């Protein structure tokens, strides 16, 4: 099994992380790096202490750019393909085991692409997730944008993706694999109406600039984009 440096960005949540690490271990990946952003959530602190994998502790919360700002990308990915991911993106049960080969082959074939990652499932989002409709509306646009057979164009920020060696990668130079090479973004499956101690701790200790779909409200930029999309649709229907 070919090994890749895998950098998982970590902050104050452990339940999703354990599922992702278990999947990576089950698929033979051993070069796993946990990039911790000054977490204080006790169960995660203990998990990191006991982890058999590499842990890079950052003194402050570096946010979604932590793999780069911490120096890990430069250290681990200067001459080999590498993976960066958030801790809450876990491949689907039916994802084939050759997914890393598929990612790397796509990078080698399409030289104008900087990174290749999983498509994110939206076909099974539960109604108890408060933002399910908004997520489906936003993500559907990427599922309609097939760039090559088996690949969709979609900007990738820090969800699970393989990067070509080096730095300077651009989010818009990205591809997502079509099913069965898909993953779930686990916060989209949480019951928003139920008390969840881990989620509430995370939100209470989150940097106000480091938020995503699992916040109480949608991030302002996505809210604005969804409003613009809805207005365009309304204007089109009115013609």
> Are the C-beta atoms of 160 and 89 separated by less than 8 Å?
yes
Would you identify the CATH topology of the domain 6-238? Spore Coat Polysaccharide Biosynthesis Protein SpsA; Chain A (3.90.550)
pLDDT-based confidence at residue 221 (cuts at 50, 70, 90): very low
Neighbours of 57 (CB within 10 A): 13
Give the CA-trace dihedral at 120, 122, 124, 126, to 10 degrees: 110
What are the boundaries of each domain within the chain? Answer: 6-238
What is the per-residue pLDDT across 51-73, written as a single tens digit (0 to 9) for each? 999 999 999 999 889 999 999 99
Pseudo-torsion of CA 168, 161, 68, 208, nearest 10°? 110
10 touches 88 (CB < 8 A):
no
* Selection from 129, 137, 179, 177 nearest residue 154 by Cα: 177
The mean pLDDT of the chain is 90
Contacts of 142 (CB under 8 A, 6+ apart): 119, 152, 153, 154, 176
Strand segments, DSSP code E, in the chain are 6-10, 32-37, 54-58, 82-85, 89-91, 115-120, 146-148, 151-153, 161-163, 174-185
Which pLDDT belongs to residue 61? 92
What integer pLDDT is reported at residue 49 of this predicted model? 99
Give the model's confidence band at 215: pLDDT under 50 very low, under 70 low, under 90 confident, else very high.
Answer: very low
* pLDDT tens-digit readout, 146-169: 999 999 999 999 999 999 999 888
**What average pLDDT does range 206-224 have in this prediction?**
52
pLDDT at 115 over 50: yes
* pLDDT reported for residue 237: 56
The pLDDT value recorded for residue 220 is 45
| HSE-CB of 229 using CA atoms within 13 angstroms | 12
Mean pLDDT of 111-124: 96
79-102 pLDDT, tens digit each: 999 999 999 999 999 999 999 999
């Amino acid at each position: 099994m070919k090994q890749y440096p895998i950098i998982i960005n970590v902050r104050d949540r452990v339940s999703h992380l354990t599922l992702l690490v278990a999947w990576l271990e089950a698929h033979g990946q051993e070069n796993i790096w946990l990039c911790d952003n000054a977490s204080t959530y006790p169960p995660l602190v203990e998990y990191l202490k006991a982890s058999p994998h590499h842990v890079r502790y950052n003194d402050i919360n570096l946010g979604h750019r932590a793999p780069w700002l911490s120096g890990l990308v430069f250290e681990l990915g200067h001459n080999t393909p590498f993976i960066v991911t958030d801790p809450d993106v876990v491949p689907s049960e039916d994802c084939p085991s050759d997914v890393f080969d598929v990612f790397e082959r796509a990078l080698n074939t399409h030289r104008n692409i900087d990174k290749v990652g999983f498509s994110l499932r939206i076909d099974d989002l539960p109604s108890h997730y408060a933002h399910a409709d908004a997520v489906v509306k936003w993500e559907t646009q990427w599922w309609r944008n097939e760039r090559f057979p088996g690949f969709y164009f979609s900007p990738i920020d820090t969800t699970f993706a393989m990067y070509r060696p080096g730095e300077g990668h651009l989010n818009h130079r990205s591809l997502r694999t079509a099913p069965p090479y898909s993953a779930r973004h686990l916060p989209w499956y949480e019951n928003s109406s139920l008390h969840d101690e881990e989620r509430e701790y995370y939100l209470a200790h989150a940097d106000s600039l480091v938020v995503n779909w699992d916040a109480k409200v949608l991030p302002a930029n996505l809210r604005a984009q969804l409003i613009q999309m809805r207005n365009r649709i309304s204007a089109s229907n009115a013609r």
